Structure 1
Amino acid sequence: MLKESTVGQELAELDKKHFIHPTTAISQQQANGPAFIFTEGNGIHLTDVNGKTVIDGMSSLWNVNVGHGREELGEAAKQQMSKLAFTSSFSTYSNEPAIRLATKIASLAPGNLNAVFFTSGGSESNDTAFKLARHYWILKGQPNRKKIISRTKSYHGVAMGATSATGLKPFRDFTNSNAPDFYYTEGMSSAALRETIEKEGPETIAAFITEPVQGAGGVNIAPEGYFQEVRDICDEYGILMIADEVITGFGRTGTFFGMEHFGVVPDMLCFAKGVTSGYAQLGGVIMSEPIHQDFIALSKDTLLHGYTYSGHAMACAVGLKNIEIIERENLVENSKLRGEELLKGFKKLQSKHKIIGHVRALGLIGGIQIVKDQQTGEGFDAPLAPRIVNEAAKRGLIIRAVVFDQDTLVFAPPLVITKQEIEKMIDILDETFQAIEEEVFQ
């Protein structure tokens, strides 16, 4: 342990000196160093440099769907890298893993979603969807259709377009020059979407983008009928509907894609994260067949959009093996069943602890609101969720706090989690809430 501790101290100092962390308070990093330096993962567990093992209650960043330590995925990467790690997909060049994965994803996608454009991750996927939507309307002879509407409390990534589409204002305020032509509508009201469209002019709007379940905004689940109404409104005004399934895809919600819960097929569907369970960087956009055919018929010039690693052979090979694991181990069904148990556990905690407000889950994505008063929903003057996150980590559970609009804890454990492991999570949360309440109400 002494040797590991010494290594940990060395790495912590190097981390502070050289590693700028994403979505981190730089001053906090410099003062305290890394909270964990992980060296190993197995299933739902992570182990740090000092030998401490914790439950990864967030699948790291909502993405390690098949769990940590999957040697099959490492072997798939090794085999592909040994033959062909990468080759360009520009100028019609191709490779077998990209072709096979695009075909497989098309077979799993809802409705007539059928053609895939690959990216390296979620932000690139959403930026790609915006550009393709705008270019589509140029091809259709309606170049004034360039506005993108998104929902309040939405999160779509941190590339320039993705940041500008994000409905969480602090992300947009991080920079002083957001991209133009992005607009926001109240996140849970189809009537508000109609009002926004009428105000801006339907003839100026290219697309509406929405998450099936808002993740970073606090795991917000839309009211019944919302997405059907939104689909009808988009059809009425001739507006493309984009589903951001970066978090919700590949089994997270208990269906392969989140939109399947609502019986709605978007015109484009963006994915990333769970497509490789984080074992390789990969994302993409699935386009409906009618739109794909319009591109084929109308686009006479080069499609001037693409990333160096679009259709990366090794990443696509990992994606194929990852989907094979999801299907072979029935992880979509496991997500549904374990998600029901997770929500049941949340409700049990809610009845026991007075700081728990609204609880929700859809498959293995869930949220717990933290309140000062359960009856009124009044929150604490200062957010309490970050303190709860720290306390849970001490007790062996990693979760995440969201404090943009409400004081909320969010959860997204790997889809391989068992009933017993769900119960362990709930037990740790029970102890954590008890400790925090004793502090707050002493």
Structure 2
Amino acid sequence: MDEFGQLEELDKRHFLHPTSSIQQQQDMGPSFIFKEGRGIYLEDIKGNVVIDGMSSLWNVNVGHGRTELGDVAKEQMAKLAYSSCFGTFSNEPAIRLSASLAALAPGDLQATFFTSGGSEANDTAYKLARHYWILKGKPERKKIISRTKSYHGVTMGATSATGLQPFREFTSSLAPDFFHVAHFNSSALRKLIEAEGPDTIAAFIAEPIQGAGGVHIAPENYFKEVKNICVEYGILFLTDEVITGFGRTGKWFGIEHYGVTPDMMCFAKGVSSGYAQLGGVMLSEQIHEEFKKLSTGTLLHGYTYSGHAMACGVALKNIELVEKENLIENAKTMGEKLLAGLKQIQGKRKIVGEVRGLGLMAAIEFIDKNRKSPVSPLIVNEAAKRGLICRSVLFDGQDTIVIAPPLIIKSEEVVKVIRILDDSIHEIESNE
């Protein structure tokens, strides 16, 4: 048995994959076993090279194989890999990263609670929002409103907030006091608030651009409307920037496109480009000051790896690379080129419906009401054969492909992505 065969059998026997078909894993094993990454490319142990058109999980913003990040990790691990940040303990990378984030974040977001990833960041935001209202003498304000087509993670609270029904159906018991409203309907938000009672609502949370739910981009005035509603009813406005943060949309943070500032902002993924596990929640100056003024006991929330020294050191270097290499502007210009290419495909292929994108987040919808099964999984498989990884989204009756390549992508590589997508769509369309 060759190396792939040995690893395939070990994978099937011992490795339970996240967000996977367990039966498919057992029957077929891994489709790729990656061994190396360089730039926007991944190579598997068979020697196949593919474009990482999803930045793996929307997170490898600065691309693969960045030795600068490995060097920083090695240096920090040799000096101080980890120390507790509970109580009054701290470390230099965590302090410097929190200050750097305050300088980059929109508005008056100024203080950061660190987590190990996005789901933890979202759960933390819900707990901090509810604790805030306890401190304010209003413990009845505990309900969290999120939106349909949203994805906020898979911990218990994050699952309960996620608007994609299959994720909530996966478990037999959800956390209480979570509600969902139509994703781009500010009037529906107002009606839900009034129906439940404004004095029972703790917070409203939204992704600036919905990622895993299909790359849905809000109408121009939507976020200003929901922000005004939150202010009117005294409800905390939270944004989930786990996917959209750190340049993905052509700005540091996705909410900057809409001219509003949240009371809390969740982040992860792009903060370290996936080179270290890190996430967090940022608090506005007002919320932070009220926490300091009203708190009398211990903040009984925290993770072992909150403020992890090595992870924070990697994040600092990652932010430096994003700035030094002008990757936010590149995401904007290459995103415009990508969207223009998708629109060209739209004009040629009859099965393509809407195409949309902002920065290096884009989606292609497929249409045919009489079709018995979706075509996006077939196109994703065809694209993989041709050297491109992208993702199919089937939630809520969608038949959509999403794509989000690393922010370092070049013009000629965007052209290659478009060509592979077009050829793959043509192949499937021709066989219908």
TM-score range, shorter chain: over 0.9
5+ residue gaps, structure 1, are: 373-377
Q: Distance in 2 between matches of 1:27 and 1:109?
A: 43
Map of 1:91 onto structure 2: 87
Q: Secondary structure at the match of 1:91?
A: coil
Aligned to 2:383: 392
CA distance in 2, matches of 1:49, 1:367: 30
Residue type matched to 1:388 in 2? I
Matched, 1:411 2:423: no
CA distance in 2 between partners of 1:119 and 1:429 (Å)? 36
Shift of 1:438: 1.2
Q: What is the CA deviation profile of residues 163-192 of structure 1, one whole-angstrom value per residue up to 9, with x for unaligned ones? A: 000000100000000000000001011001
Find 2:263's aligned residue among 263, 267, 282.
267
What residue is the counterpart of 1:326 in the other structure?
322
- In structure 2, the partner of 1:438 is 430
Query: Any gaps of 5 or more consecutive residues in structure 2?
Result: none
Name the residue aligned to 2:122: 126
- Tell me how many residue pairs correspond in the alignment: 431
CA–CA separation in structure 1 for the residues paired with 2:247 and 2:161: 25
1:173 partnered with 2:173: no
Deviates more, 1:378-387 or 1:308-317: 378-387
Quote the Cα distance in structure 1 between the aligned partners of 2:257 and 2:371.
34
- 2:420: which partner in 1? 428
Alignment partner, residue 117 of structure 1: 113
Structure 2 partner of 1:47: 43
Matched residue type, 2:399: D
Alignment of 1:276-295 (within 5 A): 276-295=272-291
Specify the code of the residue in structure 1 equivalent to 2:386: R
| Contact residue 119 and residue 310 of structure 1 kept, 8 A | yes
Residues 266-301 of structure 1: CA distance to partner in whole angstroms, max 9, x if unpaired? 000000000000000000000000000000000010
- Secondary structure, aligned partner of 2:192: helix
**1 CA distance for matches of 2:365 and 2:194?**
34
| Alignment partners' CA distance in 2, 1:380 and 1:125 | 40
* 3-state SS, counterpart of residue 357 of structure 1: strand
Inter-partner Cα distance in structure 1 for 2:188 and 2:242: 24
Partner of 1:105: 101
Letter in 2 for 1:408: T
State the SS of the aligned residue for 1:92: coil
Q: Deviations over 1:36-80 (max 9, x none)?
A: 000000000000000000000000000000000000000000000
Report deviation, 1:379: 6.5
1:3-402 to 2 correspondence within 5 Å? 6-372=2-368, 378=369, 380-402=371-393
Give the counterpart letter for 1:402 in structure 2.
Answer: V
Cα offsets for 1:116-170 (capped at 9, x unmatched): 0000000000000000000000000000000000000100000000000000010
Change (3 A) 1:379 1:414: farther
Give me the whole-angstrom Cα distance separating, in 2, the residues matched to 1:154 and 1:380.
Answer: 26
Question: Given the two structures, how large is their TM-score scaled by the length of structure 1?
Answer: 0.97
Distance in 2 of aligned mates of 1:380 and 1:274: 37
**Partners of 1:379 and 1:407 within 8 A in 2:** no
Output the amino acid matched with 1:248: T
Structure 1 vs Structure 2 CA RMSD: 0.7
Q: Quick one: distance in 2 between partners of 1:325 and 1:352?
A: 38
In structure 2, the partner of 1:375 is none
| Percent of aligned pairs with the same amino acid | 67
Task: Kindly state the Cα deviation for residue 206 of structure 1 after the two structures are TM-superposed.
Answer: 0.2
Write the letter of the residue equivalent to 1:339.
G
